[in-house]
């Protein structure tokens, strides 16, 4: 190759690199330039800071992605009970995440270990916190059964480590989800350099710990205001200095994309949609065929050649038959079984039938009011806001004003722990002239017509007592009373009235799915039952969910059917 050709080739390469560099700079400049003002975003000199590199929500620990869509909720395949508590309704569910498995004993023990370290039960001020979080192991007892081996070992023995936790009330499940949210966000912020590395172990105490809401609203109050912890260790990016010499962008905000949505219980609609896993029955924009279980087909045994005849879940197969004859036809478990013992459904979720039934977020009502709402349906909204001090700061709970709740069975449980922001009901400041909600507690909204209530009189228009719960007009449930004497001793008064007509009230929650103790009838994801939110059993567990932010789908270019 002669000299002229070499020079020409070099010129072409230089020009190509120049064009590439300029295009990259333009692209970068465009991404970090405001379309509203033309100002630079994320400028080193200060100004508006925003995560312009955010791609999509990362899947948090233990979860799998469930792409939302439409489905027919409440479409039971068998209704031999004729209980009229389910009516098929077309619903749409937004995309969300759900635990791959039920919460296991080992997962819950990690929670108990943290509670015990941070709020030692040896301290009388904290004793009720730990005891209120403990599962009720006595749920295994049976007056005519020998079950003490589970009472003593099921929660803590390594042999049951990967088995679903039971004996947990709905309230305890909610508190676990709240704790889990804080621990995951605490870890994320530590990894991003916003919190001191290792502080979650070495610097945590009852008066120095992390809460997500507190960090977002008043980050300087996190870890009890310990600047050594909340200022991180110098690994942060975009920390700047303002005109007065003060550092800015020290703390992570929602705009960074680092703080994830909270773990929570799934709604009934989400749980049923996820359990059905209808994707293999989809054709264009219709569902072909019906599903009776989380798996395809009309039977509880597998039809696949490799595992033909194997049970696809553990459940009670008949009177005195909790697993089948030992050997080939056995379902592998007489009580619960280790998670992932059976194949997952099409969303990758394990044990959406069998093992344990699961708490969901909803307050139970026999009716589903799809006429009012058919998008992310949920009954149970109680809107709250942060409590504010006289100086305008948020009111953070301390060790001296922990909020406890005495349950209907007399047990005491902590509802607001030190480091959390105290919550109060929304008031007229939020509800005045609104059309979408008018008060804090929306549990009883459109839960039945007045003509069906036992208080309805067709003659005259009686003035309603605003202090009377709407639920009382619909349901006449037992009203047990818990009080304390002058010495602080709990007095339990059992409601012995013989005129009660229902067990439904504002404190009963829906649970879904069949368990190891249920007949095959309850394995249908559309079936629904209810149980008091402050009580527990040996057959109800739970799994957590998390809302999806951003795009509906994880796939950018989806192929159409």
Give per-residue pLDDT as tens, 367-383: 888 888 999 999 999 99
Percent of the chain at pLDDT exceeding 90: 55
Is residue 162 predicted with pLDDT exceeding 80?
A: yes
DSSP of 331-367: -S-SS---TTSS---TTS---SSSS-EEEEEEEP-S-
Is residue 286 predicted with pLDDT exceeding 70?
A: no
Backbone φ and ψ of 148, nearest 5°: -60, -25
- For the chain, give every domain's residue range: 58-186+258-380+515-556, 193-256, 382-442
The pLDDT value given to residue 17: 64
Least confident of 54-63, 226-235, 389-398, 539-548: 226-235
The pLDDT value given to residue 552: 92
The pLDDT value given to residue 200: 94
Least confident of 58-72, 242-256, 384-398: 242-256
Q: Does residue 41 contact residue 48 with C-beta atoms inside 8 Å? A: yes
Q: Determine how many CB atoms are found less than 10 A away from the CB of residue 527.
A: 23
Q: Determine how many CB atoms are found less than 10 A away from the CB of residue 517.
A: 18
> 27-56 burial string, b = 16+ CB within 10 Å, else e?
eeeeeeeeeeeeeebbeeeeeebebeeeee
Is residue 560 predicted with pLDDT exceeding 60?
A: no
- What integer is the mean pLDDT of 165-177? 97
The pLDDT value given to residue 236: 61
- What integer is the mean pLDDT of 63-86? 85
The pLDDT tens digits of the residues spanning 398-432 come to 998 898 888 888 888 888 899 999 999 999 999 99
The closest alpha carbon to 530, from 511, 555, 554, belongs to 511
Range with top average pLDDT, 177-191, 292-306, 408-422, 490-504: 177-191
Q: Does residue 421 contact residue 213 with C-beta atoms inside 8 Å? A: yes
Least confident of 330-339, 397-406, 470-479, 496-505: 470-479
Least confident of 198-207, 304-313, 350-359, 374-383: 304-313
The pLDDT tens digits of the residues spanning 431-449 come to 999 999 999 999 988 886 5
For the chain, the distance separating the N- and C-terminal CA atoms, rounded to the nearest angstrom, is: 55
The closest alpha carbon to 522, from 355, 307, 397, 367, belongs to 355
The helix or strand, by DSSP H or E, that contains position 484, with its residue range, turns out to be: strand 481-484
Is residue 394 predicted with pLDDT exceeding 60?
A: yes
The pLDDT value given to residue 234: 60
Is residue 65 predicted with pLDDT exceeding 90?
A: yes
- What integer is the mean pLDDT of 454-478? 58
Written in H, E and C, the secondary structure of 394-446 is ECECCCCCCEEEECCCCCEEEEECCCCECEEECCHHHHCCCCCCCCCECCCCC
Residue scoring higher pLDDT (471 or 346) = 346
The token pair that represents 248 in the structure block:
């800015």
Site of tokens 């818990």: 482
Least confident of 108-117, 138-147, 531-540, 549-558: 549-558
- 235 pLDDT tier (thresholds 50, 70, 90): low
Least confident of 23-37, 152-166, 176-190, 338-352: 23-37
Is residue 366 predicted with pLDDT exceeding 80?
A: yes
Give the whole-angstrom CA distance, residue 318 versus residue 321.
5
Is residue 29 predicted with pLDDT exceeding 60?
A: no
Give the whole-angstrom CA distance, residue 412 versus residue 404.
7
Residue scoring higher pLDDT (115 or 88) = 115
Is residue 282 predicted with pLDDT exceeding 60?
A: no
- 27 pLDDT tier (thresholds 50, 70, 90): very low
- What integer is the mean pLDDT of 76-84? 75
Residue scoring higher pLDDT (404 or 63) = 63
- 464 pLDDT tier (thresholds 50, 70, 90): very low
The helix or strand, by DSSP H or E, that contains position 14, with its residue range, turns out to be: helix 3-31
Residue scoring higher pLDDT (281 or 505) = 505
The pLDDT value given to residue 467: 47
Is residue 111 predicted with pLDDT exceeding 60?
A: yes
Give the whole-angstrom CA distance, residue 147 versus residue 166.
14
DSSP of 74-116: T--S--TT-------EEEEE--EEEESSPPBHHHHHHHHHHHH
Strands (E) in 216-321, as ranges, are 240-241, 247-248, 263-264, 282-283, 286-287
The token pair that represents 272 in the structure block:
């049923």
Is residue 14 predicted with pLDDT exceeding 70?
A: no
Output the average pLDDT for the chain: 85
Is residue 168 predicted with pLDDT exceeding 60?
A: yes
Give the whole-angstrom CA distance, residue 265 versus residue 97.
11
Distances in Å between the Cα of 86 and the Cα atoms of 72, 275, 378 are 11, 17, 15
The pLDDT value given to residue 466: 47
Is residue 124 predicted with pLDDT exceeding 60?
A: yes
Least confident of 23-27, 30-34, 106-110, 343-347: 23-27
Report the CATH number of the 58-186+258-380+515-556 domain. Answer: 3.90.1580.10
Backbone φ and ψ of 219, nearest 5°: -55, -30
Q: Does residue 339 contact residue 101 with C-beta atoms inside 8 Å? A: yes
The pLDDT value given to residue 122: 94
Side-chain-side CA neighbours of 109 within 13 Å: the count stands at 14
> 233-266 burial string, b = 16+ CB within 10 Å, else e?
eeebeeeeeeeeeeeebbbbeeebbbbbbbbbbb
Residue scoring higher pLDDT (81 or 484) = 484
Is residue 347 predicted with pLDDT exceeding 70?
A: yes
- What integer is the mean pLDDT of 66-92? 84
The token pair that represents 311 in the structure block:
């049970």
Interior angle at CA 197, CA 191 and CA 200, nearest 5: 100
Cα maximum dimension of the chain: 109
Backbone φ and ψ of 149, nearest 5°: -60, -35
3-state class of 287 per DSSP? strand
3-state class of 134 per DSSP? coil
């Amino acid at each position: 190759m002669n000299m002229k050709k070499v020079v020409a080739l070099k010129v072409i390469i230089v020009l190509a690199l120049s064009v590439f560099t300029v295009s990259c700079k333009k692209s970068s400049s465009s991404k970090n330039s405001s379309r509203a003002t033309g100002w630079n975003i994320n400028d080193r000199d200060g100004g508006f800071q925003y995560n312009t590199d955010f791609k999509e929500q990362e899947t948090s620990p233990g979860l799998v992605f469930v792409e939302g869509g439409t489905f027919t909720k409440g479409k039971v395949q068998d209704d031999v009970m004729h209980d009229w508590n389910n009516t098929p309704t077309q619903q749409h569910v937004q995309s969300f995440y759900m635990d791959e498995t039920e919460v296991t004993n080992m997962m819950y023990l990690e929670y108990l270990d943290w509670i015990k370290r941070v709020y030692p039960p040896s301290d009388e001020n904290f004793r009720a916190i730990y005891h209120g979080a403990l599962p009720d192991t006595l749920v295994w007892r049976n007056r005519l059964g020998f079950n003490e081996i589970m009472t003593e070992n099921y929660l803590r023995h390594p042999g049951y480590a990967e088995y679903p936790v039971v004996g947990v009330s709905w309230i305890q499940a909610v508190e676990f989800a709240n704790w889990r949210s804080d621990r995951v966000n605490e870890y994320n912020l530590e990894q991003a350099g916003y919190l001191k590395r290792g502080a979650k172990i070495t610097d945590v105490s009852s008066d120095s710990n992390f809460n997500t809401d507190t960090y977002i609203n008043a980050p300087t109050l996190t870890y009890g205001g310990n600047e050594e912890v909340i200022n991180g260790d110098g690994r942060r990016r975009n920390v700047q200095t303002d005109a007065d010499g003060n550092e800015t962008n020290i703390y992570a905000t929602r705009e960074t994309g680092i703080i994830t949505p909270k773990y929570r219980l799934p709604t009934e609609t989400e749980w049923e949609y996820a359990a059905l896993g209808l994707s293999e029955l989809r054709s264009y924009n219709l569902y072909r065929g019906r599903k009776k279980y989380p798996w395809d087909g009309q039977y509880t045994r597998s039809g696949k050649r490799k595992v033909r005849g194997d049970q696809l879940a553990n459940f009670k197969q008949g009177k005195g038959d909790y697993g089948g004859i030992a050997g080939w036809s056995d379902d592998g478990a007489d009580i619960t079984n280790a998670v992932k013992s059976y194949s997952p459904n099409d969303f990758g979720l394990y044990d959406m039938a069998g093992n344990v039934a699961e708490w969901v977020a909803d307050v139970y009502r026999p009716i589903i009011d799809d006429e009012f709402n058919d998008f992310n349906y949920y009954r149970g909204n109680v809107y709250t806001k942060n409590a504010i001090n006289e100086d305008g700061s948020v009111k953070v709970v301390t060790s001296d004003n922990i909020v406890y709740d005495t349950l209907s069975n007399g047990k005491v449980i902590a509802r607001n722990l030190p480091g959390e922001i105290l919550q109060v009901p929304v008031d007229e400041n939020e509800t005045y002239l609104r059309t979408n909600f008018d008060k804090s507690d929306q549990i009883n909204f459109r839960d039945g017509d007045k003509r069906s209530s036992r208080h309805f009189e067709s003659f005259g228009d009686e003035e309603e007592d605003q202090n009377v719960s709407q639920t009382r007009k619909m349901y006449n449930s037992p009203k047990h009373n818990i009080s304390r004497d002058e010495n602080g001793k709990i007095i339990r008064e059992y409601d012995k009235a013989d005129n009660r007509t229902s067990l439904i009230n504002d404190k009963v929650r829906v649970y879904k799915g069949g368990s190891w103790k249920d007949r095959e009838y309850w394995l249908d994801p559309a079936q629904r039952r209810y149980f008091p939110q402050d009580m527990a059993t040996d057959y109800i567990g739970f799994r957590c969910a998390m809302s999806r932010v951003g795009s509906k789908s994880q796939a950018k270019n989806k192929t159409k059917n």
